Amino acid sequence: MDKNFDVIVIGGGPAGYVCAIRSAQLGFKTACIESRGTLGGTCLNVGCIPSKSLLNLSENYHKVQNEFNNLGIESSNVKLNLSKMMSNKNKSVLTLTKGVEYLFKKNKITYLKGKGSILSKNSVSVLDESKNKTNYKTKNVVISTGSIPSSLPGIKIDENNIVSSTGALSFNKVPKELIIIGGGYIGLEMGSVWKRLGSKVTVIEFLDHIIPGMDKDISNEFLKILIKQGINFKLNSKVTNVKVVKDKAIIDFTNNKSSKRERIECDKVLVAVGRKSNIGEDIVKLGIKLEKGKIKVNKKFETSIKGIYAVGDCIQLGPMLAHKAEDEGIAVAEIIAGQAGHVNYEVIPAVIYTSPEVAAVGKTEQELQKESIKYKIGKFPFLANSRAKVNNETEGFVKIIADDKTDKVLGVHIIGSHAGTMIAEMALAMEFGASSEDIARTCHAHPTHTEAVKEAALAVDKRPIHF
């Protein structure tokens, strides 16, 4: 095999595999190194895809059990077959990871299986499963080594009683009691899955609210809805110790305000306190500069060493999300080709795939207040949306924030069914610099949930029709 490449990408997750495909499309001789044994990274293997599979299946299970009988769809003796559910999830993961392999073949990308290490800006080694090391030459290196779960000091994840999201995606029986440390999106998605399948779920969160960084209006509404669904919350609480005794986990935590100490015993603890960049020894050895533990890149995604680029979860820019990683993968390939690759960090949608979904793009009210930017707000509840009403999906609302003077849309926050799909229209509107009036004057199909977006835009000018 020829060992000379134009671009070698280290890591085959959304940032890396997309970068490899775009590089090949641009005519570069491209290789992608992946150590996991399958392509697709965290997202396809142990992240977005398996979690969305379980969210979808558990939601269907919950609806058949709790909602359908009241709607005239009578069923009895509904049973959970967890191992079948897990097989279905695994099949979806396999189909998609194989799909990326097919795309590599189609685009004539060399897939190097093993652990990649950068030797210099023009050479990379790969250590394969049989411990054979092979060196390759390249004109450009792109690091896309992603991220790994974080823990708290003194808490050791064993993926048995104390698990990361990876363990929580593969329990072989429904835990009687599941404690989740961290009220971020991963914890709440996994909490929703296991609550629907029968666990007693308690979330312990250090802050006084869930989903840090989310618009407070949405965060408050989301908390109320999750409590109504039966998830318990211990907010303002600091976990001080987790230990395992005879296959039970014991969690000690202290209330930040009252200093009251509590202890809970459970079958499983999910540590969902965030993720950290995956920085290999080679990166440290080469002296590539880091910022707060992440690889520091400039606007062209170049690290402190010319010719070595980095994208995705491992860099300091933007949120740790798959679509951000993919867009950076495309942008860096185009930059290497001398084109104007670009990612607009002001318009990166974020979605939580619970029921109802939560989605946001742009600024929150709290951010605008901090930046002393004057704004106006339009809100519209799904209770007044006809499609949501007929579907019994009336929880939540759309909130549009527009500049007080120019009416330019600065942020959109949605909690409700299909919020994750609806946010795409808002991201597009913001990319085009739309005003709330532009959205209000755009004809939206009836009856759809998206009419709530139009109505929220009308509400910015205090003239909603149906509320």
* 14 belongs to the binding site for ligand FAD (CB under 6 A): yes
Single residue of 23, 34, 167, 412 touching ligand FAD by CB under 6 A: 34
Quote the least distance from Cβ 271 to ligand FAD, whole Å.
Answer: 12
Q: Which of 62, 446, 449, 466 is catalytic?
A: 446
Active site residue 446: yes
How far apart CA 60 and CA 58 sit, in angstroms, is 5
* 420 belongs to the binding site for ligand FAD (CB under 6 A): no
* 182 belongs to the binding site for ligand FAD (CB under 6 A): no
- Work out whether strand 237-245 and strand 4-10 pair parallel, antiparallel, or are unpaired: unpaired
The binding track of 288-317 with respect to ligand FAD, each residue x by CB under 6 A or -, is: ------------------------xx----
- Single out the segment in contact with ligand FAD by CB under 6 A; choices: 12-20, 154-162, 338-346, 400-408: 12-20
* 357 belongs to the binding site for ligand FAD (CB under 6 A): no
Quote the least distance from Cβ 115 to ligand FAD, whole Å.
Answer: 4
* 201 belongs to the binding site for ligand FAD (CB under 6 A): no
How far apart CA 52 and CA 50 sit, in angstroms, is 5
* 191 belongs to the binding site for ligand FAD (CB under 6 A): no
Single residue of 278, 417, 435, 436 touching ligand FAD by CB under 6 A: 278
Single residue of 280, 362, 381, 416 touching ligand FAD by CB under 6 A: 280
* 41 belongs to the binding site for ligand FAD (CB under 6 A): yes
* 144 belongs to the binding site for ligand FAD (CB under 6 A): yes
Single residue of 13, 187, 378, 411 touching ligand FAD by CB under 6 A: 13
* 16 belongs to the binding site for ligand FAD (CB under 6 A): yes
Single residue of 9, 100, 223, 325 touching ligand FAD by CB under 6 A: 325
Q: Which CB atom, from 351 or from 388, has the smaller least distance to ligand FAD? A: 351
Q: Which CB atom, from 313 or from 451, has the smaller least distance to ligand FAD? A: 313
* 167 belongs to the binding site for ligand FAD (CB under 6 A): no
- Single out the segment in contact with ligand FAD by CB under 6 A; choices: 32-40, 70-78, 170-178, 386-394: 32-40
* 48 belongs to the binding site for ligand FAD (CB under 6 A): yes
Quote the least distance from Cβ 153 to ligand FAD, whole Å.
Answer: 21
Residues engaged in binding ligand FAD (CB under 6 A): 10-16, 33-36, 41-43, 47-48, 51, 115-116, 144-147, 165, 186, 278, 280, 312-313, 320-323, 325, 353
Please identify every residue annotated as catalytic.
446
